[in-house]
Amino acid sequence: MNLPTPVPVRAPGRRGEIASVKEALRFIDQLPPELARLSRWTFARALFHEVERTGKSRDMKAAVRQFRQALSNERWLEEDS
């Protein structure tokens, strides 16, 4: 399932865009353990799993908003795009 708008990322070892729920989940699953345990990432992961389960647009909006916030907190959100 594609995200409404690709999310531009500039994380260590990863530049470019995340365009689907599967890519977002893969990105979160590959985080270092100390980051993956933080609530912002566990919440984003849970929300994306809910999107996979329901397919609802409101769930997608919440998941993308949380994902963008988590990226922003790490200073990994590419703001220029």
Pairing label, strands 14-20, 2-11: antiparallel
Domain that holds residue 48: 2-73
Residue 11 lies in a domain: yes
Residue 80 lies in a domain: no
Residue 67 lies in a domain: yes
Residue 78 lies in a domain: no
Q: How does pLDDT run across 23-72, given as a tens digit for each residue?
A: 999 999 999 999 999 999 999 999 999 999 999 999 999 999 999 999 99
Residue 66 lies in a domain: yes
Residue 57 lies in a domain: yes
Residue 81 lies in a domain: no
Q: How many domains does the chain have?
A: 1
**Model pTM score:** 0.93
Q: Is the pLDDT of residue 81 over 50?
A: no
User: What three-state secondary structure class fits 37?
Assistant: coil
